[in-house]
Chain A
Amino acid sequence: MNLNEILTGTLTGLIILVFAFVWQTTLSGVTRKIVGRFQKRYGPKFYQEFRDIFKLLTKTGVTHGWVYSFGVMMALGGIMGTAMFMPVMRFTAFPGLDNVFIYVYLFAVGMLGMAMSAVGSGNPLAGIGVMRALTQMVGYEVPFLVVVLAMVYGHGTASVSELAAVQQAAGIASWNLVRMPIGTVVGFICLLGMLGKKPFETFIAPAEIASGPMVEYGGKQLGMLMLLHEFSIFIEVSLFVNLFLGGAVTVVGFIIKYVGVFVLASLVSQALGRFKIDQVIRYFYRWPIALAVAQALIVVFLGWGV
């Protein structure tokens, strides 16, 4: 990599970041409106999420020690760094470096920063929330990685943009949604876990542990956490679109797929109640993992869907 490539890559990455922020924040507001309509309400304006984030950034923020303040920065930086690597349509900031495992590792930096910062606030509910978030992460990462590893074995590449390109060869018939239907179901359930949507909302649980890790955040720090939340949703949904729905070539295709996945996840979340944390783990280690292993065996031994 020479200097020129690094500069172009960074610039592309920054453009992807701005796009991710504007797009995902708008979509979150639109989803709030859709959910409102489902409950026979008007719902907020579609740009409500922007107003929330900017309001929080104009408020004062108290600190609970340098671990707390530094952890927020580390979390936001880690997640933004991860988002820069994400292939969007045909743009990849750092070609050849968009390996699946990059996301697993870099995403953990953000998660650990958040865990550090939340525990640094000293509130016991934050500690409980972080413990639940990390426990849930252990739950969904295993089935998700089994499916992804089967996919990597089948297609012979671990690069997300190449995995997306393989699926664009023959229209819908070559999407992993059709080639590996069981794996896609597992992927969607794990996506619900990653997003913290309702059946797997254990670590937020506002009525039970007062919004878990976020319990001591207010003002600027909470605004940064909301930014982080938008970026992490962007990473998770884009990863799902790239891995299972054949990525996207045009803007329209990307928008349709992304909106479909995110709105479906939000509506599923509206219809369900919340699991307890032990139920989450028991659930993930029973059905998704069995289906994931079945899908992996089909790909490896029968060679279907490759």
Chain B
Amino acid sequence: MGEGIIEKDKKLKEGWEGISRFFRANSLWMLMYCTGCCAIELPQAMTSRYDMERLGMGPMATPRQADVLLVTGYLSVKTLRRVIYAYEQMSTPKYLVAFGPCPINGGIYYDAYAVINRLDQYLPVDVYIAGCMPKPEAVMNGFQDLIDGIKNKTADGWKRYRDNYEWYRKNQIESLGELRIKDEFHE
């Protein structure tokens, strides 16, 4: 009797998750972190030539409203802190898409003193888009990969971030150093 109810509950939960995934996959709102050069390819992907809105995607103004964080290119140590703030403000489930080679291994900035090399050590990345810079076709293809990943449960970066938070946190502090804030809210 009891097991039957648990089984039913599990099935119901899975069904609900499936419905949620359908809606999440087809309505992705982006927050664009456009400090890198790959950002120049986004206008073509958004406007009438490639028309991203077909996939149900659109730009949003703040991290709280968005589902996808686009990191377009290299990240300096200073901007990494802001990206982490933005990612942590987004409400789950959330996804992160990294453009170009710079978030993978540093790209052409691999030996720069102020640029981080691997974004994956600090934040979980769901989709990498290849190309320096990626063409709009590649961008659209990457978004299609993200949609497929959401549908078949492989885009689970937000779960990885939650489960391995200690590890990510350690890397973040190693790279950025502890932040000491002195104002009326923190004393």
Tell me the nearest residue of chain B to A205, going by C-beta. B61
In the complex, what residues of A have CB within 8 A of residue B65's CB?
A: 211, 214, 217-218, 222
CB proximity of A292 to chain B, nearest CB, Å: 34
B61:A55 contact, CB within 8 angstroms: no
Interface residues on chain A, number (Cβ under 8 Å): 30
A54:B56 contact, CB within 8 angstroms: no
CB proximity of A65 to chain B, nearest CB, Å: 14
Within 8 A of B (CB), among A197-224: 206-207, 210-211, 214-219, 222
B64:A218 contact, CB within 8 angstroms: yes
Number of A-B contacts (CB under 8 A): 82
Tell me the nearest residue of chain B to A218, going by C-beta. B64
CB 8 Å contact bits of A39-69 with B (1 = contact, 0 = none):
1111111001001101100111110000000
A253 within 8 A of partner (CB): no
Given contacts A51-B23, A216-B64, contact A41 B51 (CB under 8 A): yes
B91:A61 contact, CB within 8 angstroms: yes
A82 to B64, CA, bound (A): 29
CB 8 Å contact bits of A207-244 with B (1 = contact, 0 = none):
10011001111110010000000000000000000000
B56:A206 contact, CB within 8 angstroms: no
A61 to B90, CA, bound (A): 10
A58:B24 contact, CB within 8 angstroms: yes
A39 to B50, CA, bound (A): 12
A219 to B29, CA, bound (A): 12
A234 to B93, CA, bound (A): 31
B47:A59 contact, CB within 8 angstroms: no
A41 to B51, CA, bound (A): 6
In the complex, what residues of A have CB within 8 A of residue B60's CB?
A: 211
A36 within 8 A of partner (CB): yes
Tell me the nearest residue of chain B to A40, going by C-beta. B48
B14 within 8 A of partner (CB): no
CB 8 Å contact bits of B18-49 with A (1 = contact, 0 = none):
01100110110100000000000000000110
In the complex, what residues of B have CB within 8 A of residue A52's CB?
A: 27, 29, 56
B92:A216 contact, CB within 8 angstroms: no
Interface size bracket, B side: 20 to 34
CB proximity of A11 to chain B, nearest CB, Å: 29
A60:B62 contact, CB within 8 angstroms: no
B53 within 8 A of partner (CB): yes
Within 8 A of B (CB), among A116-159: none
In the complex, what residues of B have CB within 8 A of residue A32's CB?
A: 53
Within 8 A of A (CB), among B52-92: 53-54, 56, 60-67, 89-92
A43 to B48, CA, bound (A): 9
A42 to B64, CA, bound (A): 28
A61 to B93, CA, bound (A): 10
A210:B61 contact, CB within 8 angstroms: yes
A60 to B92, CA, bound (A): 6
A60 to B93, CA, bound (A): 8
A selection of 20 A-B contacts at a CB cut-off of 8 Å is A39-B48, A41-B53, A44-B56, A48-B56, A51-B26, A51-B56, A58-B24, A59-B67, A60-B91, A62-B64, A211-B60, A214-B65, A215-B64, A217-B65, A218-B64, A218-B66, A218-B90, A218-B91, A219-B64, A222-B64
Closest 3 CB pairs of A and B: A218-B64, A55-B23, A219-B91
Known pairs A55-B67, A216-B62; list 12 more (Cβ under 8 Å): A41-B51, A43-B51, A44-B53, A51-B56, A55-B20, A59-B92, A60-B91, A211-B61, A214-B61, A217-B64, A218-B89, A218-B91
Residues of B participating in the A interface, judged by any CB pair closer than 8 Å: 19-20, 23-24, 26-27, 29, 47-48, 51, 53-54, 56, 60-67, 89-93
